[in-house]
Structure 1
Amino acid sequence: MKILNYMNIFLVGISIILIALGFITKESSGNLIGYGLMFTPIIGLFQVVSGVSLLFYDPKDNMLKWYLSGVCLFFFCWICNSNIIYMPILEFTQFALPPILAIYFSVLIYKKANI
């Protein structure tokens, strides 16, 4: 579990460092900021796959169930907003959920690694 925690910290840290370096160097092309932002879907994929595999490992963990229900809510908002009907509240939920889920999963992994 500690390895999973270190991998999560490393992946999140790379994105934060790239974006921070882009702002510090005031790059006119925005390459570092773009790379940092393009790295975030990889972080999300890593966290979702890790969450699903941890749920298979411990199916009675309620914190993981809440995390995966939040992931399902995100994809539900995405599909409904783009294919079925556009609702502004779904759009706000869609953009607010990924940072909340990333922080929640990071705290969850940290707690599990340090028990």
Structure 2
Amino acid sequence: MKAINYLNYFFVGTLIILIVFGLLSNESSGNITGSGFLFLILTGLFQVIFGIKMLIDEPKDKNLQYYIKGVCFFFVLSFINGFILNYQILYFILFAIPIILAIFFSIITYKKAHQ
């Protein structure tokens, strides 16, 4: 479990470092910041895959169940809002949900690694 925790630190840390360094360097092309935002995809993919794997290993863990329900809620809400509703306020909510889920997954892995 500590390996997953360290991998999570790597993915989240690299994402933050790339975005902050890209914004602070004030480069005109935005390659570093863009790479940081593209790294968001890898971070989310890592967290969802290992969240599902951890839930398969421990199906009675309530925190993992809440995490997977939150991921499903995010994708269902984005699909519904993109193709059916198209409310602008829901896009702001959809922007915040992955950040909350990433923090929640980091807390889960930290607690499991330090048990």
Task: Please state which band the TM-score falls in when normalised by the shorter chain.
Answer: over 0.9
1:26 corresponds in structure 2 to 26
Q: CA deviation at 1:89?
A: 4.1
Determine what percentage of the aligned residue pairs are the same residue.
49
State the shift of 1:76 in Å. Answer: 1.0
1:1-115 to 2 correspondence within 5 Å? 1-115=1-115
Quote the Cα distance in structure 1 between the aligned partners of 2:89 and 2:16.
Answer: 28
TM-score, length-scaled by structure 1: 0.95
Per-residue Cα deviation, 1:67-96 (whole angstroms, up to 9, x for no partner):
011101100111101112223343222111
Between the aligned partners of 1:67 and 1:30, the Cα distance in structure 2 is: 32
Instruction: Name which of structure 1's ranges 6-15 and 91-100 shifts more when overlaid on structure 2.
Output: 91-100
Q: Following the alignment from structure 1 to structure 2, what is the Cα–Cα distance between the partners of residues 24 and 84?
A: 39
Q: Is the 8 A contact 1:74 1:93 kept in 2?
A: no
Q: Structure 2, unaligned stretches of length 5 or more?
A: none
**RMSD across aligned C-alpha pairs, in angstroms?**
1.0
